[in-house]
């Protein structure tokens, strides 16, 4: 739930709400006060504004989360900007003053951090883009650990493109090899990180579609080739998949034991139905919270390999791919 | 004993025909000469091994040479014509290969150059092997020589293995078709000793941090440890209750043969006793891969250190 103010604005706009702090606060209060959420969710990534917000009654959001058994996390990157000398690719900012910010976030109650950089297959990716992505993540991870925050390492390989799943696999292997190499060079402790990869799927515009079992097979193959067992957990991003797709794919990956925990860190794929159910209406808060629990529980079952798609709504099956997604 | 071909042949025959031994070995790495030799009954050593269910492998590197501009560090030669040689070895019956890179710990050692150069050589070798159908054993040995403690060995081993797996990735080597032959993580040869449980803990932690689960097997080198030490350490690793998605096993040279050699001493009359001793060590290590070694294979010489400073072979 770490959408920047601009991106949160898009979410609110989709249900006809203005992008004001009050509306952002109301929406996040709906999420963090959902009763029983802690049964299915172990951590919540917050945007900086949210880390310092409270419920209307005055209770700090971080306290709501902690009491629910949910660890508060903080998005620390400062977004993507164009990478000069590349093939129209991006790099992720945020290292300036990161140590001091991390220390402040820790004081406020955050215990983990997140940094999202991206790599684009239609644009290459160029070697420069891959190395820059890996180095930025490695420096961020080292600084986070120095300040007591567990870094979630997120090099998102964008879904955009017509490439097939084999091409995604090759790029993912290259990116993760570079990431782990740079993490090691920066003396990051692997027992104290989490990964947030994209699943290995065909590009959004690829004509050859595949089943969740094939996504699972390719994704696990990639992880086994690149992720040392010291890494305790891998929490996938949903990247534009529909809520049900994201859950089915996660479930397929948990049909046999893995050397790392394989789970979810979904934003759109947890919130889509929630937002539509709420629509900004205080009378609909409880129904929206119920919708959130349905998705959270579904994914909780999926990370045990025990999910079934029977009874899922049509809304939950709608794809959420947005070309060239920025948030 | 004199280092002549007949004696070398006799030693290998002693080992390969030792009754009941081959069941404990899944593969044997041969030197090129051995690949073309026969047992005294005329059967090729390759046949003897295959009949015993053992896969023949081949050492393909051409030894180490000095790296100019370093503090006596080395690189491993052998890439020239390697593809053609591998094809030939495959035709002779080999199905895996081995290449030993060597690094050492010291003041500012190993240097980044030595690490990069040796990792690169291993990756090129591995890639060429796979083109010829041979499974490459990747061996980045960090010598035990030195006064450093186990923490230092762990830190260096992590750096070296990270560089190796980066190079293997860059060269598109299929990890599922490789084996790793690393040193165990131990104190240096001149530092105080620690227990097998400590060695096991540090070694497995180092591997957890560096070796992707796609690698099916890790077969340790013994690197100068005594026969018994090497077996006890391997056993302790397999008893650890922690994440170990790869097989942890042995690829011992000295630590399988040393006491057997002593007992044999080149005399026909000693062959049976030597072979019985060899069987005991093979079985002990086999048990150790299951964490079931009871410590009862000690014969004379099993506790002797086999460390030779700056070991070349």
Q: What is the pLDDT of residue B198?
A: 98
Quote the minimal CA–CA distance from B162 to chain A in Å.
Answer: 6
Active site residue A196: yes
| Six-digit token string for B47 | 């046949």
pLDDT in tens, B197-256: 999 999 999 999 999 999 999 999 999 899 999 999 999 999 999 999 999 999 999 999
Q: Yes or no: say if B121 and B99 are a contact pair by the CB < 8 Å rule.
A: yes
Q: What is the pLDDT of residue B283?
A: 97
The answer to whether residue B298 scores a pLDDT higher than 90 is no
User: Is A228 within 8 Å of B211 when comparing Cβ atoms?
Assistant: yes
Q: Closest residue of A to B173, CA-based?
A: A225
Banded pLDDT at A317 (limits 50, 70, 90): confident
Q: What is the pLDDT of residue A326?
A: 56
pLDDT in tens, B116-171: 999 999 999 999 999 999 999 999 999 999 999 999 999 999 999 999 999 999 99
Q: A261 — contact with chain B (CB < 8 Å)?
A: no
pLDDT in tens, B248-286: 999 999 999 999 999 999 999 999 999 999 999 999 999
**Residues near A223 by beta carbon (within 8 Å), at least 6 away in sequence:** A197, A234, A258, A260, A262, B213
Mutation for testing the A interface, residue in B169, B175, B202 having most A CBs under 10 Å: B169
User: Is A225 within 8 Å of B212 when comparing Cβ atoms?
Assistant: yes
With beta carbons under 8 A apart, name residues in chain A contacting B209.
Answer: 184, 190-191, 228, 230
The answer to whether residue B299 scores a pLDDT higher than 70 is no
User: Is B213 within 8 Å of A190 when comparing Cβ atoms?
Assistant: no
Average pLDDT over residues A24-48: 97
Q: Yes or no: say if A303 and A224 are a contact pair by the CB < 8 Å rule.
A: no
Token look-up 């690094």 returns: B103
The answer to whether residue A311 scores a pLDDT higher than 80 is no
With beta carbons under 8 A apart, name residues in chain B contacting A184.
Answer: 158-159, 162, 209-210
| Six-digit token string for B107 | 């003041």
Q: What is the pLDDT of residue A207?
A: 97
SS3 A323: coil
Q: What is the pLDDT of residue A293?
A: 96
Phi-psi region of A313 (alpha: psi -120 to 50; beta: other; left: phi over 0): beta
Q: A81 — contact with chain B (CB < 8 Å)?
A: no
User: Is A173 within 8 Å of B169 when comparing Cβ atoms?
Assistant: yes
The answer to whether residue B311 scores a pLDDT higher than 80 is no
Quote the minimal CA–CA distance from B22 to chain A in Å.
Answer: 32
Look up the pTM and report it. 0.92
Q: What is the pLDDT of residue B300?
A: 64
Q: How far apart, in Å, are the Cα atoms of B211 and each of A24, A92, A226, B161?
A: 44, 28, 8, 8
Q: What is the pLDDT of residue A145?
A: 98
Banded pLDDT at A324 (limits 50, 70, 90): low
Q: What is the pLDDT of residue B297?
A: 78
Among residues A176, A144, A142, which one has the least CA distance to residue A157?
A: A176
Rg (CA), chain A: 19
Q: A229 — contact with chain B (CB < 8 Å)?
A: yes
Banded pLDDT at A255 (limits 50, 70, 90): very high
Average pLDDT over residues B182-208: 98
List active site positions of B: 139, 181
Percentage of chain A lying above the pLDDT 70 cut: 99
pLDDT in tens, A102-157: 999 999 999 999 999 999 999 999 999 999 999 999 999 999 999 999 999 999 99
């Amino acid at each position: 739930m770490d959408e920047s103010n601009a991106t949160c604005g898009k979410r609110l706009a989709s249900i006809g709400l203005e992008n004001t702090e009050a509306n952002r606060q109301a929406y996040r209060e709906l999420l963090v006060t959902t009763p029983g959420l802690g049964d299915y969710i172990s951590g919540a990534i917050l945007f900086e504004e949210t880390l310092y917000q409270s419920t209307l009654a005055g209770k700090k959001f971080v306290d709501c989360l902690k009491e629910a058994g949910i660890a508060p996390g903080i998005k620390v990157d400062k977004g993507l900007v164009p990478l000069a000398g590349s093939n129209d690719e991006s790099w992720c900012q945020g290292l300036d003053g990161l140590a001091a910010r991390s220390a402040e976030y820790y004081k406020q109650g955050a215990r983990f951090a997140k940094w999202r950089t991206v790599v684009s297959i239609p644009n290459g990716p160029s070697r420069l883009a891959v190395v820059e992505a890996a180095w930025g993540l490695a420096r961020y991870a080292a600084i986070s650990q120095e300040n007591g925050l567990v870094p979630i390492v997120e090099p998102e390989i964008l879904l955009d493109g017509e490439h097939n799943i084999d091409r995604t696999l090759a790029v993912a292997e290259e990116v993760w090899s570079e990431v782990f190499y740079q993490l090691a060079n920066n003396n990051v402790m692997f027992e104290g990180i989490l990964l947030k990869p994209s699943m290995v799927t065909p590009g959004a515009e690829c004509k050859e579609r595949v089943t969740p079992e094939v996504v699972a097979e390719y994704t696990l193959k990639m992880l086994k080739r690149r992720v040392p067992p010291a890494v305790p957990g891998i929490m996938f991003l949903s990247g534009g998949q529909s809520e049900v797709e994201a859950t089915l794919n996660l479930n397929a990956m948990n049909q046999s034991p893995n050397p790392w925990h394989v789970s979810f860190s979904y934003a759109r794929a947890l919130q889509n139905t929630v937002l539509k159910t709420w629509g900004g209406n205080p009378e609909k808060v409880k129904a929206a919270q119920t919708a959130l629990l349905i998705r959270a529980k579904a994914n909780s079952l999926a990370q045990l390999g025990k999910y079934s798609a029977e009874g899922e709504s049509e809304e939950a099956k709608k794809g959420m791919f947005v070309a060239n997604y920025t948030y | 004993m004199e280092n002549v071909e007949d004696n070398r042949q006799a030693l290998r025959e002693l080992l390969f025909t030792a009754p009941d031994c081959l069941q404990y070995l899944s593969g044997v790495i041969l030197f090129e000469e051995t690949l073309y030799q026969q047992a005294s009954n005329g059967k090729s050593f390759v046949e003897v091994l295959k009949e015993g269910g053992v896969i023949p492998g081949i050492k393909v590197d051409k030894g180490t040479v000095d790296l100019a501009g370093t503090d006596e560090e080395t690189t491993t030669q052998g890439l020239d014509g390697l593809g053609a040689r591998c094809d030939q070895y495959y035709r002779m019956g080999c199905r895996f290969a081995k290449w030993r890179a060597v690094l050492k710990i010291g003041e500012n050692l190993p240097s980044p150059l030595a690490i990069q150069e040796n990792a690169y050589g291993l990756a090129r070798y591995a890639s060429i092997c796979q083109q010829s159908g041979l499974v490459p054993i990747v061996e980045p040995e960090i010598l035990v020589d030195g006064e450093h403690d186990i923490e230092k060995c762990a830190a260096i081993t992590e750096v070296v293995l990270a560089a190796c797996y980066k190079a293997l990735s860059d060269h598109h080597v299929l990890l599922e078709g490789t084996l790793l032959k690393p040193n165990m993580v131990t104190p240096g040869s001149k530092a105080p000793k620690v227990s097998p449980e400590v060695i096991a803990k540090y070694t497995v932690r180092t591997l957890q941090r560096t070796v992707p689960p796609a690698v099916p097997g890790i077969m340790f080198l013994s690197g100068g440890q005594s026969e018994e030490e090497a077996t006890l350490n391997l056993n302790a690793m397999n008893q650890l209750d922690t994440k170990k998605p790869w097989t942890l096993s042995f690829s011992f040279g000295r630590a399988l043969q040393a006491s057997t050699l002593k007992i044999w001493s080149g005399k026909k009359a000693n062959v049976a006793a030597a072979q019985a001793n060899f069987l005991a060590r093979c079985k002990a290590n086999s048990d150790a891969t299951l964490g079931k070694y009871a410590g009862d294979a000690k014969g004379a010489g099993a506790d002797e250190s086999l460390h030779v400073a700056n070991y070349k072979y």
